[in-house]
Amino acid sequence: MRNRSVPLREVHVWEMPVRLYHWINALCIVSLCITGYLIGDPPAFTTSTEAYANYWFGTVRFVHFSSAFLFFFNFVFRTYWGFVGNEFSRWYHFIPYSKKHWMEIKDVIMVDVLQVTNKKIDSIGHNNLAAFIYFMTFLIFLLQSLTGFGMYSAMSSSFFPKLFAWIVPFLGGDMHVRQIHHILMWGFILFAMVHVYLVFYHDYIERRGITSSMIGGWKFIEEDVIERHEKEKD
Amino acid sequence: MEKHIPSFYEEVRGKGISRRDFLKFCTTMAAFLGLEASGVGQIVKALESKPRLPVIWFHFQECTCCSESFIRASHPIVADIVLNKISLDYQETLMAASGVQAEDAYKAVMQKYPGEYIVMVEGSIPTENEAYCCIGGRSALQILQEAVKNCKAVVAWGNCASAGCVQAASPNPTGAKPVHKVISGKPVINVQGCPPIADVMAGVVVHLLTFDRIPQLDGMNRPQAFYSRRVHDTCYRRANFDAGLFVESFDDEGAKRGYCLYKMGCKGPVTYNSCGIIKWNDSVSYPIQSGHPCIGCAEAGFWDNGPFYQHLPEVAGFGIETTADKIGLGLGVATAVGIAGHAIVTNFRKHKEIKNEEPEEGSTVETKKE
């Protein structure tokens, strides 16, 4: 039997609201990408019938719009949580404003992306490169929400979508807004591919329980890393 | 001595149009403008009492299709408006005068009606080199800027004057710009379309005359009465869209059954115009009704969002027929290959971590320091 004895401590990294946000977000993105793609390129499911007998495309659009509302408010909630949540969920992790952030980004690129050096990355929550990429995805979330609700505002008379009506003339018309919205969809797809792979990668290499951390919230962190982290905080 | 300026009504009566026809026209216009019943009376009163609207109508970089559309409006009075009733003191295509006389006519309007006359523009204005469009030895930009100085409002007819249309399409060799980009300080009404619907043009003129102010405009300065809804929202084929019944090619069963033209590149869902309601040629038909997808001629940059018969536009800079989906799929495959490569390399480079042996440098996994 192969085993190892490493002094590890369990750290509660992701609080329940963060985990809930993550999975709602994941479901919304899957739903939005599938329905969005169908809206952009509908297959010929039904033919040779009359319109009154079908409504599948309307349903696809309804799912897209309702997922979009959920996605948006979920994202708003996460932004709020970035100001009140625990230290791993705070906004300042996501924006690399200090030299320390950039040093770690460089380290992660050397260690995990290019794999030219070996070094332990100390971050307990997101490493700084991951956090920066997430910040970029937040910007894409925002753009996608603006363009999406901007287009939606033309077909709704309710108060909320109307708040986004300005985006259409700002970007020069629905044609441009739709094109941007469509291109950004691919950003979500590419991100999801890399994101899932990297979770596998980190669990494979580091075995900190990163995959299950998004289920239970706990990560296994080496004791000396925690000690250094706590010393830094003091 | 000031000559009596005849009202609209006096002029059309003089042309042999009956009061009944006149009232029908007023009612039609009120309906197009979305006014309530009392609005009809206001229009009647305005056309009966107010003097003609002094108008200077310029043609810059354009094809005159706006004028052509206007003179083919559904109601005879609308055509009449164009030919002499809005006092087209200067209109290069339709006026009898030419040369010096024409120049005089247009200068006379500016002197006689400062702050009252309306400048109507067909066509875009070249800015790359102003010499691309010169009339009477002066550039379009000079002429326009001089004319708008004392005008009441500017009406930009059609896509050229509202958004640059084909002249402003990439690469835009003349640096063509729409009216609202080259002038400032005056309200500009963008009456979009290539050309705009004749009755919409007439509606804008009637509104200006009746209410003495510009109609309510949207975010792109288009009159809301005509441009607040997408062609898609008022399309009689809309039920087929929601049902997911699409024409797949121009001669298929779906085309015969009148299915939605979405997949044939119909730009109805991204185009704001009244084609589905007012229609064209005396409300006979409009492109979609005739089996042709909307090309989005009432939208800025519609030439650069082609091809017309394709749902997704091409992405500039990636060669022909490259859509966002093709690029996305390419990047997706590249990413998948990258991930696979990274995963393979990881198994070699990170062998020690995977086997739980001590890595070469800087590891803290083995906590023997304690």
Q: How many CB atoms lie within 10 A of CB A41?
A: 13
- The number of CA neighbours under 13 Å toward the Cβ of B118 is 25
My answer on whether B172 and B297 are in the same domain is no
Q: How does pLDDT run along chain B (370 residues), one tens digit per residue?
A: 456 767 778 877 887 888 998 898 889 888 888 888 888 999 999 888 887 778 888 899 999 898 888 877 766 666 666 555 555 667 777 777 777 888 888 888 888 889 888 899 999 999 999 999 998 889 999 999 999 999 999 999 999 999 999 999 989 999 999 999 999 999 999 999 999 998 898 889 888 888 888 999 988 999 999 998 999 999 999 999 999 999 999 989 999 999 999 999 999 999 999 999 999 888 889 999 999 999 999 999 899 888 899 888 887 777 767 788 888 999 999 999 999 999 998 888 888 888 877 655 544 444 433 3
- Which of chain A's residues have a Cβ under 8 Å away from the Cβ of B350? 115, 205
Which residues in chain B have their CB less than 8 angstroms from residue A56's CB? 243-244
Name the minimum distance, in Å, from the CA of A46 to any CA of chain B.
6
Residue B342 inside a domain? The answer is no
Count structural domains, chain B: 2
Task: Specify whether B96 is located in the same domain as B114.
Answer: yes
CB-CB neighbors (< 8 A) of A201 in chain B: 342-343, 346
User: Which residues in chain B touch residue A55, judged by CB atoms under 8 angstroms apart?
Assistant: 242-244
Report the pLDDT value the prediction gives residue B360, as an integer from 0 to 100: 52
Domains along chain A? Answer: 17-195 (1.20.950.20)
- Does B68 share its domain with B155? yes
Q: Is B137 a domain residue?
A: yes
| Contact flag A7-B248 (C-beta cutoff 8 Å) | no
Domain span at residue B284 reads 231-305
B162 and B122 together in one domain: yes
pLDDT digits (tens, 9 = 90+) for B61-97: 999 898 888 877 766 666 666 555 555 667 777 777 7
The CATH code of the domain that includes B136 is 3.40.50.700
Same domain, B54 and B198: yes
- Does B299 contact A174 at a Cβ distance shorter than 8 Å? yes
Residue A98, chain B, CB below 8 Å: the answer is no
pLDDT of residue B363: 44
The tens digit of pLDDT for each residue in A52-102 reads 888 999 999 999 999 999 999 999 999 999 999 998 999 988 999 999 889
Instruction: Determine which helix (DSSP H) or strand (DSSP E) holds A9, and give its type and residue range.
Output: strand A8-12
Q: What residues in A contact B354, CB-CB < 8 Å?
A: 204-205
Q: B213 and B297 in one domain? A: no
Residue of A nearest to B244 (CA): A57
Residue B351: closest C-alpha in chain A? A205
CB B328 within 8 A of CB A185: yes
Q: Could you give phi then psi for residue B351, rounded to 5 degrees?
A: -50, -45
Are both B261 and B168 inside the same structural domain? Answer: no
- Residues for chain A: how many in total? 234
Has residue B222 been placed in a domain? yes
In a domain, B3, yes or no: no
Best residue in B242, B248, B370 to probe A by mutation, most A CBs within 10 Å?
A: B242
DSSP class per residue in A120-163: ----SSS-HHHHHHHHHHHHHHHHHHHHHHHHHGGG--SHHHHT
Which tens digit of pLDDT belongs to each residue from A113-164? 888 888 888 889 999 999 999 999 999 999 999 999 999 998 888 999 999 9
pLDDT at res. B202: 86
Residues B54 and B74 in one domain: yes
* Nearest residue on chain B to A59, alpha-carbon basis: B242
B60 and B147 in a single domain? The answer is yes
